[in-house]
């Protein structure tokens, strides 16, 4: 017996409404959440059309009519979409719509795509799949003429795994009773750099320090609504069942207690001294969110989803900042990072039409709401009104290149900015959610601080 997929009925409507008249085939992603017993697919999104340019075809002998599919384009789309998903949500697989005569070749193409997409998404993550994680990913072939679907899964841990049949069942209100976990995590990292650090060394140093911090987050103690709960307990034990339907999830406030915060004792380690000429400082408070299904989830599953969102949102922002450096300053990332003031993008949230869940994106200071709307339209194939985009959870922090004598002044300015931002945000919010506003709006800041010899 293969895995079962419970699918939001809006996914069926979306797929059936895709225009197959102008394109011989359509590729896309399936988004949802895994559980030990079954998986949930909450929405689907087609791969955006690439601007006309010389394609890099795949091997014709292996792929037949799909030789012109740009695999790298599909992979990059999956990576960008993965960045826009809060905790608990992930790209579960791919779909392919073709004419009936291409059904056989479609299975070969789907197998190739699902492994490539998973590899692209997991590259650079600060966490790895555990033995408890579901390693199977889904492929869905839809016949453009008969609308018949064929659902199969592959084990991502085994590159030579064969396809397994799976059940694909549509259902309404799949995510309407899911719970949401929220927390605000303080970041305080410092990455030492030597005078001879190259671009490669800079990237390696940052990843090394981020991985150390990630280990602290993964080992942190969680308070859910102020209480420590056993990992193996059902997450909804003792909670009032939610029966109000879509858009009425129960919200749980979570606090992560790490050893560096002094909330619990840890084994003392030997300190080390490292000579450096500069230091990258990553400081601030980030707003994190995760969704958890209602099919008797365990406490450890909910906590894991939130912790991974913490790791993802910090990792994504640092990646985006250095990508921005490379685009604007050329290939010299190290020198670009040392020029003037820089700001990490702030996180914004938005609902998805036809689904009780939401997505996120990252906004740089020089971007407007229209830029966000365009990305939502291109990456997720959905139109989101400006008033539905929540930009109040975080504000921009200051990122600067200062010498050691000016650090104190910069910290004071940052503190004043944080205080004024809290006042502004609390005035905009409903009284019922003011308790979270105090820390949720401080953005992550990345600054390059040069010390004197």
Residue 107 CB neighbours (<10 A): 16
| 269 and 175 Cβ atoms separated by less than 8 Å | no
164 and 184, same structural domain?
Answer: no
**pLDDT 10s digits, 111-152:** 999 999 999 999 989 998 888 999 999 999 999 999 999 999
Closest by CA position to 117, among listed 82, 150, 83? 82
- Which of 171, 189, 208 is a domain's end point? 171
- Which of 171, 188, 220 is a domain's end point? 171
C-alpha dihedral sign at 322, 325, 330, 333 = negative
Whole-number pLDDT of residue 124: 86
Distances (CA, A) of 221 to 187, 250, 251, 257, 306: 16, 22, 19, 5, 12
424 and 354, same structural domain?
Answer: yes
| 143 and 99 Cβ atoms separated by less than 8 Å | yes
Give the separation between CA 25 and CA 19, rounded to whole angstroms: 10
Q: Where are the alpha helices (DSSP H) in 90-224?
A: 103-122, 199-218
Split at pLDDT 50, 70, 90, the class of 272 is low
Quick check: 323 pLDDT over 70?
Answer: yes
Whole-number pLDDT of residue 449: 41
The per-residue pLDDT of the chain, averaged, comes to 79
58 and 134, same structural domain?
Answer: yes
Angle in degrees, 0-180, between the axes of helices 369-380 and 71-83, rounded to the nearest 10: 130
Which CATH number characterizes residue 55's domain? Answer: 3.40.140.10
Taking residues 281-304, what's their average pLDDT?
A: 92
Q: Facing residues of 11 across strands?
A: none
Whole-number pLDDT of residue 157: 95
101 and 220, same structural domain?
Answer: no
Whole-number pLDDT of residue 352: 85
| Owning domain of residue 258 | 179-450
Whole-number pLDDT of residue 412: 31
415 and 299, same structural domain?
Answer: yes
Whole-number pLDDT of residue 241: 57
167 and 184, same structural domain?
Answer: no
Quick check: 74 pLDDT over 90?
Answer: yes
Split at pLDDT 50, 70, 90, the class of 411 is very low
The pLDDT > 70 percentage for the chain reads 72
Residue 284 CB neighbours (<10 A): 25
**pLDDT 10s digits, 142-199:** 999 999 999 999 999 999 999 999 999 999 999 999 999 999 998 888 877 766 666 6
Whole-number pLDDT of residue 98: 93
Taking residues 333-355, what's their average pLDDT?
A: 71
Split at pLDDT 50, 70, 90, the class of 21 is confident
**pLDDT 10s digits, 355-369:** 779 999 999 988 999
234 and 282, same structural domain?
Answer: yes
Split at pLDDT 50, 70, 90, the class of 260 is low
| 181 and 292 Cβ atoms separated by less than 8 Å | yes
In this predicted structure, which of 40-54, 118-132, 255-269 has the lowest mean pLDDT? Answer: 255-269
Whole-number pLDDT of residue 356: 79
CA atoms within 13 A on the CB side of 399: 28
Measured in degrees and rounded to the nearest 5, phi and psi for residue 156 equal: -70, -20
241 and 153, same structural domain?
Answer: no
101 and 18, same structural domain?
Answer: yes
H/E stretch holding 46 reads strand 39-46
Whole-number pLDDT of residue 328: 63
3-state secondary structure of 413: helix
Number of structural domains found in the chain: 2
185 and 137, same structural domain?
Answer: no
Task: Give every strand in the sheet of 278-292, ordered side by side.
Answer: 221-224, 251-257, 179-193, 278-292, 445-450, 401-403
166 and 184, same structural domain?
Answer: no
Whole-number pLDDT of residue 344: 80
- Which of 154, 171, 188 is a domain's end point? 171
């Amino acid at each position: 017996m293969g895995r079962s997929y419970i699918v939001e009925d809006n996914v069926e409507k979306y797929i059936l409404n895709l225009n197959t008249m102008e394109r011989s085939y359509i590729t896309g992603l399936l988004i949802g959440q895994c559980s030990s017993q079954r998986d949930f697919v909450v929405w689907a999104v087609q791969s955006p059309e690439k601007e006309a340019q010389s394609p890099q075809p795949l091997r014709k002998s292996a792929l037949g009519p799909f030789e012109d599919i740009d695999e790298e384009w599909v992979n990059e789309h999956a990576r960008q979409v993965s960045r826009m998903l809060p905790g608990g949500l992930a790209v579960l697989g791919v779909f392919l719509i073709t004419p009936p005569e291409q059904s056989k070749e479609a299975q070969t193409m789907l197998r190739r795509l699902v492994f490539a997409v998973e590899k692209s998404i997991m590259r650079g993550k600060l966490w790895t799949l555990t033995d408890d994680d579901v390693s199977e990913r889904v492929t869905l072939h839809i016949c453009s003429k008969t609308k018949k679907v064929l659902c199969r899964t592959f084990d991502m841990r085994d590159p030579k795994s064969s396809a397994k049949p799976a059940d694909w069942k549509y259902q309404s209100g799949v995510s309407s009773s899911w719970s949401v976990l929220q927390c605000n995590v303080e970041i305080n990292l410092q990455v030492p750099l030597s005078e001879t650090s190259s671009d490669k060394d800079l990237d390696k140093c940052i990843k090394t320090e981020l991985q150390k911090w990630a280990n602290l987050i993964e080992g942190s103690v969680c308070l859910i609504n102020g209480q420590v709960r056993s990992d193996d307990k059902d997450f909804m034990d003792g909670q009032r069942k939610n029966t109000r339907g879509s858009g009425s999830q129960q919200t749980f406030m979570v606090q992560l207690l790490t050893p560096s915060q002094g909330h619990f004792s840890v084994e003392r380690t030997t300190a080390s001294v490292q000579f450096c000429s500069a230091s990258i400082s990553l400081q601030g408070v980030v707003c994190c969110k995760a969704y958890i299904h209602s099919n008797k989830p365990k406490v450890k599953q909910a906590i894991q989803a939130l912790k991974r969102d913490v790791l993802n949102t910090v990792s994504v922002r640092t990646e985006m900042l250095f990508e921005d450096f490379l685009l604007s300053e050329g290939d010299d990332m190290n020198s670009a990072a040392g020029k003037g003031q820089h700001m990490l993008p702030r996180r914004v949230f938005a609902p998805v039409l036809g689904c009780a869940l939401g997505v996120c994106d990252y906004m740089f200071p020089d971007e407007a709401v229209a830029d966000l709307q365009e990305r939502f339209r291109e990456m997720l194939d959905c139109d989101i009104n400006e008033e539905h985009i929540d930009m109040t959870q975080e504000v921009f922090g200051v990122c600067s290149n200062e010498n050691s004598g000016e650090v104190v002044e910069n910290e004071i300015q940052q503190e004043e900015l944080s205080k004024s931002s809290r006042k502004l945000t609390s005035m905009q919010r409903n009284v019922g959610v003011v308790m979270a506003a105090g820390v949720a709006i401080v953005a992550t800041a990345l600054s390059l601080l040069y010390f004197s010899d």
